[in-house]
C-alpha cells in the first residue's frame, strides 16, 4: 500500500509498504478516505515540532471506512465510516486514572509519536473509532478533529454565559475557537489580533468586539469593554512572545487563562499577577474524548463543517499539497489529502 513517510526534516517520501493486518481482537482495519493537513504536520515536515520522532508516517486528522473487524469488536462493523481519535494512552498513570488520557505520561499521538493516517489502510482499537454522519463529505469530516481542540479549550476554561471571553489570536486556531465559544453564549466574545482582515472575519463569525493590538493597548481596550474588570476567561491562541504576560495582565480576578502553545522561549511573568487575582492558569492540549461531542454538534446543526475544506490533493501528491500549504495562498482554508 501507499504511505507518506517523513524520514527527517524536509525529507518526505511516497513509499510502498505492507498493508497492516488485524493483530488484536479489539482492533479494526480501516480503509482510509481523507486526512487533513494541520500546522503540526507541517511542523514535523519542517523540523519545528519538538514532540515528533522520525521516521514517521504523519497524519492525525483521519477519516476512513471500516473494512474488517477483530473477533472482540462490538462498536463498529464493516462499512461504517469513522474518524479516528489520535490519542493513545497507557491507562494506568496518574493522568489516565484522573480521566485525562490526553496528557498521559506515556502519551503516544498517532502521526507524531507513532505512525498516523497518511496511508491507504490503518489498524486501531475500536474504542478510537467514532461514527460519522452521512451528510458530511469525507473531506469535511477531517475538520472534526481541529474542532475537538477548540471544544477542549472551552471545557478547560469552564466557559459560561457570565464570562467575558478574550481570544488572543485570530488564526486557524482562534477562528475555530470563536465558532465553538459562541455556542456557550459568553457575555462578551472579544478577539484580538494584529491583522484587520482577520478581525473582520472574527466579527462575521460571531465576535462581539475586536481589538487590533498593534494599534491599541490590549489591556486598556479590554478593561474598557468589561467595565474595568478585565476578561474572565482569556485563551492564548497566538502563543507569541509576550502573549502569556498579556493574558495574565488582562484577565480579571477569579479568571482563567488558557495556554495552547508549545513555545519554549522564556516569558517574563510574576507571582503578583496570578496570586493577587487568584487566576487559574491552565494548559489545553489535544482533546480529551471530545469526538462524540463534536459529532453530536454537527448532527444537530450547532456547527456546520460543510465546505470548510478549500483544497484537496491525492495522497500521492502530498509533497505538492504541503508546498501549496506553505505558500500561504489566501484562498486556503483547509487542505485535505484524498486517499483511495
Ligand atoms: Zn491537527
Ligand atoms: Zn497514562
Each domain of the chain, given as residue ranges in start order, spans 2-143+305-338, 149-283
Topology of domain 2-143+305-338, CATH: Quinone Oxidoreductase; Chain A, domain 1 (3.90.180)
> Separation of 105 CA from ligand 2 center, angstroms?
5
Closest ligand to the CA of 89? 2
Whether the pTM exceeds 0.85: the reply is: yes
> Separation of 289 CA from ligand 2 center, angstroms?
14
Q: Ligand 1 being an ion, which residues bring their Cβ within 5 A of it?
A: 38
Residue 168 CB contacts under 8 Å (≥ 6 apart), including other chains: 174, 192, 193, 213, 218, 234, 235, 236, 237, 238, 243, 246, 247
> Separation of 30 CA from ligand 2 center, angstroms?
25
> Separation of 59 CA from ligand 1 center, angstroms?
8
Judge whether 2 and 315 are in contact, CB under 8 Å: yes
> Separation of 129 CA from ligand 2 center, angstroms?
19
Could you give the CA distance from residue 8 to residue 201 in angstroms, rounded to a whole number? 37
> Separation of 302 CA from ligand 1 center, angstroms?
21
Could you give the CA distance from residue 16 to residue 150 in angstroms, rounded to a whole number? 35
> Separation of 106 CA from ligand 2 center, angstroms?
5
Strands 121-125 and 129-131: unpaired
Closest ligand to the CA of 43? 1
> Separation of 36 CA from ligand 1 center, angstroms?
8
Could you give the CA distance from residue 10 to residue 32 in angstroms, rounded to a whole number? 25
> How does pLDDT run along the chain (340 residues), one tens digit per residue?
999 999 999 999 999 999 999 999 999 999 999 999 998 999 999 998 888 999 999 999 999 999 999 999 999 999 999 999 999 999 999 999 999 999 999 999 999 999 999 999 999 999 999 999 999 999 999 999 999 999 999 999 999 999 999 999 998 899 999 999 999 999 999 999 999 999 999 999 999 999 999 999 999 999 999 999 999 999 999 989 999 999 999 999 999 999 998 888 888 999 999 999 999 999 999 999 999 999 999 999 999 999 889 999 999 999 999 999 999 888 898 999 999 9
Q: Into which CATH architecture does domain 149-283 fall? A: 3-Layer(aba) Sandwich (3.40)
> Separation of 99 CA from ligand 2 center, angstroms?
9
> Separation of 103 CA from ligand 2 center, angstroms?
7
DSSP string, 79-137: T-EEEE--EE--SSSHHHHTT-GGG-TT-EEBTTTB--SSBSEEEEEGGGEEEPPTTS-
Closest ligand to the CA of 90? 2
Amino acid at each position: 500500500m501507499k504511505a507518506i513517510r517523513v524520514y527527517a526534516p524536509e525529507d518526505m517520501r511516497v513509499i510502498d509498504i505492507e498493508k497492516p493486518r488485524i493483530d488484536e481482537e479489539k482492533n479494526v482495519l480501516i480503509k482510509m478516505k481523507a486526512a487533513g493537513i494541520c500546522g503540526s504536520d507541517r511542523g514535523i515536515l519542517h523540523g519545528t515540532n519538538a514532540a515528533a520522532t522520525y521516521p514517521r508516517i504523519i497524519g492525525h486528522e483521519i477519516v476512513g471506512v471500516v473494512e474488517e473487524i477483530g473477533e472482540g469488536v462490538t462498536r463498529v462493523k464493516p462499512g461504517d465510516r469513522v474518524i479516528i481519535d489520535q490519542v493513545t494512552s497507557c491507562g494506568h498513570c496518574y493522568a489516565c486514572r484522573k480521566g485525562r488520557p490526553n496528557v498521559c505520561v506515556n502519551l503516544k499521538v498517532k502521526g507524531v509519536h507513532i505512525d498516523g493516517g497518511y496511508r491507504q489502510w490503518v489498524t486501531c482499537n475500536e474504542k478510537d473509532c467514532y461514527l460519522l454522519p452521512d451528510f458530511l463529505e469525507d473531506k469535511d469530516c477531517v475538520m472534526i478533529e481541529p474542532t475537538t481542540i477548540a471544544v477542549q479549550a472551552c471545557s478547560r476554561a469552564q466557559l459560561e454565559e457570565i464570562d467575558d471571553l478574550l481570544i488572543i489570536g485570530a488564526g486557524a486556531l482562534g477562528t475555530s475557537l470563536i465558532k465553538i465559544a459562541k455556542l456557550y453564549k459568553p457575555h462578551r466574545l472579544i478577539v484580538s489580533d494584529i491583522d484587520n482582515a482577520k478581525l473582520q472575519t472574527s466579527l462575521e463569525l460571531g465576535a462581539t468586539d475586536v481589538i487590533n493590538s498593534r494599534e491599541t493597548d490590549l489591556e486598556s481596550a479590554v478593561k474598557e469593554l468589561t467595565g474595568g474588570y478585565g476578561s474572565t476567561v482569556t485563551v492564548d491562541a497566538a502563543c507569541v512572545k509576550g502573549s502569556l504576560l498579556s493574558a495574565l495582565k488582562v484577565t480579571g480576578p477569579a479568571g482563567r487563562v488558557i495556554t495552547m502553545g508549545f513555545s519554549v522561549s522564556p516569558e517574563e511573568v510574576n507571582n503578583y499577577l496570578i496570586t493577587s487575582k487568584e487566576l487559574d492558569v491552565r494548559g489545553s492540549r489535544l482533546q480529551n474524548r471530545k469526538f462524540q461531542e463534536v459529532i453530536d454538534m454537527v448532527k444537530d446543526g450547532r456547527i456546520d463543517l460543510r465546505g470548510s475544506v478549500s483544497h484537496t490533493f491525492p495522497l500521492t501528491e502530498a509533497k505538492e499539497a504541503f508546498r501549496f500549504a506553505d505558500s500561504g495562498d489566501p484562498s486556503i482554508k483547509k487542505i485535505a489529502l484524498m486517499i483511495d
